[in-house]
């Protein structure tokens, strides 16, 4: 019997909670104070086989359910998520360490929006194919078919949102899913499974297994899995896509970034500083699309740094459910170690100028001192070759890079193997579009940063990923096409008709 504050999580498949047979468990931790929250049961290989078998059994009926009937269930699930917003946001905050002011206003709602978006899309004919009249007595029609049993593998930074960004188009298109959350933030998964069940989703359509990388690896390599949708680090994504490609599985890869934010000399200073701060400190910097390389005109140095330093005071770490708190801790001890080692490297090895923050923890109440807190940090006068400028830190660490000409800034912005996001701040919209065209990234913003609504197809270029999630394009990643040529002439054209 667990003595932890939250009930243990077993697995979830075939429409119900199922015991794990591995005999192994891990503990999920509240990152704000480093205390255990709940015990999670790890799936054994045979448990994963059972979950996949349940999803495989559910597939024929779910895939044959008319899209409009699937849509009704998913719309109901979206409504339930909104009703339960505060309860789910509370779990997300405890598990991920994100301030409740964020999770209660963004994480669940944006996930529910995506579910509603795809339900409406398929309910309104979004899975229709196309017909081509080839000639008077022949036509071609192309239909979209679901893929089968799909695997969704999530990262820890937007747990329920990632689960919904994957399961919404997957289920809407008629597939079934096995979802594995990150071991650092597993608590949302059963709640989501229960919401789906309450909405009327048939048993076996959405299933959950828990465990670390080895569970993910077994799941994604399983011969019954038709597609892998993965969100995580580039290095893991390369392993997973390599194994999936070898087995001809479909993949979507949403990976890391080191995105450039370009502030042009005509930009509004206030907006530029606000944009740069949102692009670096929202969610304690744990956002894949963060604009961590901030390119600023050299002539702006004094004014930009002065305004930024004033606004850095408005970052308020503190108790996660306090309305004033707008920054939480990092999500885990291991991630804290990683981010602080980058800050140390920036100071000691890269020798960047530390403008704000640095090593050590911010001031938080005594009962939170054991948590994985880090100080929001700004390095200035950075150069392109510094490690803190080249590698994804995934924490609240901004690097300011000064430039002389816009051409130079664009060239330097593209000097990276990553291509997730990019953006520009300027009052000249003609110039904004010209620059956006030159930036090598799949997700771009003009005079804003970070908003990623259900309608916007997002995905990385270069090493930052493969394919897109969300938007009309996003549904294409969950279907395969079948083209049929129908001849109505009454005769078969043949070259073998006579001697």
CB of 155 to ligand NDP, least distance (A): 3
Residues between 64 and 93 that touch ligand NDP (CB under 6 A): none
Q: Closest CB to ligand NDP belongs to which residue? A: 216
**Which CB, 204 or 285, lies closer to ligand NDP?**
285
Q: Which two tokens stand for residue 142?
A: 């192309």
Q: Are 374 and 330 in contact (CB under 8 A)?
A: yes
C-alpha distances (whole Å) from 122 to each of 109, 168, 203, 229, 437 are: 20, 11, 21, 20, 32
Task: Mark 177-196 with x for binding to ligand NDP (rule: CB under 6 A) and - for no binding.
Answer: ---x-xxx------------
**Which CB, 150 or 406, lies closer to ligand NDP?**
150
Task: Mark 122-161 with x for binding to ligand NDP (rule: CB under 6 A) and - for no binding.
Answer: -------------------------------xxxxxx---
CA nearest to 338, candidates 292, 393, 388:
393
Tell whether residue 217 is a contact of ligand NDP (CB under 6 A): yes
Q: Which two tokens stand for residue 61?
A: 């009926």
CB of 407 to ligand NDP, least distance (A): 28
Tell whether residue 232 is a contact of ligand NDP (CB under 6 A): yes
Q: Are 294 and 261 in contact (CB under 8 A)?
A: yes
Interface segment toward ligand NDP; rule CB under 6 A; list 229-237, 277-285, 371-379, 470-478:
229-237
Q: Are 108 and 85 in contact (CB under 8 A)?
A: yes
- Cα separation, 221 vs 64, in Å, equals 26
**Which CB, 113 or 305, lies closer to ligand NDP?**
113
Tell whether residue 203 is a contact of ligand NDP (CB under 6 A): no
CB of 46 to ligand NDP, least distance (A): 18
CA nearest to 336, candidates 344, 325, 347:
344
Side-by-side strand order, sheet with 465-466 = 16-18, 11-13, 206-208, 176-180, 149-153, 225-231, 250-254, 465-466
Tell whether residue 333 is a contact of ligand NDP (CB under 6 A): no
Tell whether residue 110 is a contact of ligand NDP (CB under 6 A): no
CB neighbour list of residue 52: distance below 8 Å, 6 or more residues apart? 149, 178, 219, 222, 224, 225
Q: Which is catalytic among the residues 92, 254, 305, 469?
A: 254
CB neighbour list of residue 16: distance below 8 Å, 6 or more residues apart? 203
Tell whether residue 256 is a contact of ligand NDP (CB under 6 A): yes
Residues between 431 and 470 that touch ligand NDP (CB under 6 A): 460, 465
H/E stretch holding 178 reads strand 176-180
CB of 232 to ligand NDP, least distance (A): 3
**Which CB, 205 or 466, lies closer to ligand NDP?**
466
**Which CB, 232 or 423, lies closer to ligand NDP?**
232
Interface residue with ligand NDP, options 262, 273, 413, 420 (CB under 6 A): 420
Beta bridge partners of 143: 482
Q: Is 254 considered catalytic here? A: yes
Q: Are 233 and 43 in contact (CB under 8 A)?
A: no
Enzyme catalytic residues: 254
> Where on the chain is the footprint of ligand NDP (CB under 6 A)?
153-158, 180, 182-184, 212-213, 216-217, 220, 231-233, 236, 239-240, 254-257, 288, 392, 394, 420, 460, 465
């Amino acid at each position: 019997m667990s003595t932890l504050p939250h009930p243990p999580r077993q697995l979830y498949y075939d429409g119900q909670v199922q015991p794990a047979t591995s005999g192994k468990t891990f503990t999920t931790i509240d990152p704000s104070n480093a205390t255990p929250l709940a015990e999670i049961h790890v799936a054994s290989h045979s448990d994963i086989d059972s979950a996949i078998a349940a999803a495989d059994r559910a597939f024929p009926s779910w895939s044959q359910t008319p899209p409009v009937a699937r849509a009704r269930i998913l719309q109901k699930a979206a409504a339930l998520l909104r009703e339960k917003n505060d309860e789910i946001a509370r779990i997300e905050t405890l598990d991920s360490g994100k301030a409740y002011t964020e999770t209660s206003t963004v994480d669940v709602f944006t996930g529910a929006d995506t579910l509603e978006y795809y339900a409406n899309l398929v309910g309104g004919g979004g899975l229709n194919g196309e017909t081509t009249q080839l000639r008077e007595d022949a036509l071609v029609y192309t239909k979209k078919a679901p893929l089968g049993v799909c695997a969704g593998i999530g990262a820890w930074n937007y747990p329920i949102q990632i689960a919904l960004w994957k399961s919404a188009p997957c289920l809407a298109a008629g597939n079934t899913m096995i979802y594995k959350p990150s071991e650092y933030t597993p608590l949302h998964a059963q709640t989501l499974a229960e919401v789906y069940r309450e909405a009327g989703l048939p048993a076996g359509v959405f299933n959950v297994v828990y465990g670390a990388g080895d569970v993910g690896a077994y799941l994604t390599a399983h011969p019954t899995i038709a597609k892998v949708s993965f969100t995580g680090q580039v290095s893991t994504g390369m392993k997973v896509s390599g194994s999936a490609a070898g087995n001809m599985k479909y993949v979507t890869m949403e990976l890391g970034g080191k995105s450039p934010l370009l502030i042009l000399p005509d930009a509004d200073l206030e907006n530029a500083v606000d944009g740069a701060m949102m692009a670096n400190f929202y969610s304690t910097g744990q956002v894949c699309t963060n604009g961590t390389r901030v390119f600023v005109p050299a002539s702006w140095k004094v004014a930009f740094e002065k305004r930024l330093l004033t606004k850095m005071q408005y970052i308020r770490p503190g108790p996660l459910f306090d309305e004033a708190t707008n920054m939480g801790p990092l999500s885990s001890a291991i991630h804290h170690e990683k981010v602080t080692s980058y800050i140390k490297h920036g100071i000691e090895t890269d020798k960047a100028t530390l403008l704000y923050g640095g090593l050590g923890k911010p001031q938080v109440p005594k009962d939170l001192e054991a948590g994985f807190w880090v100080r929001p940090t700004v390095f200035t006068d950075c150069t392109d070759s510094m490690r803190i400028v080249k590698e994804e830190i995934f924490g609240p660490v901004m690097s300011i890079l000064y430039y002389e000409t816009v051409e130079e800034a664009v060239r330097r912005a593209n000097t990276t193997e990553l291509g997730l996001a990019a953006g520009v701040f300027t009052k000249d919209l003609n110039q904004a579009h010209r620059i956006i065209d030159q930036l090598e990234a799949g997700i771009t913003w003009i005079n804003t940063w970070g908003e990623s609504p259900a309608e916007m197809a997002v995905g990385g270029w270069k090493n930052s990923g493969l394919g897109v999630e969300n938007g009309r394009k996003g549904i294409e990643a969950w279907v395969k096409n079948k083209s049929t040529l129908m001849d109505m002439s009454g005769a078969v054209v043949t070259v073998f008709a006579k001697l």
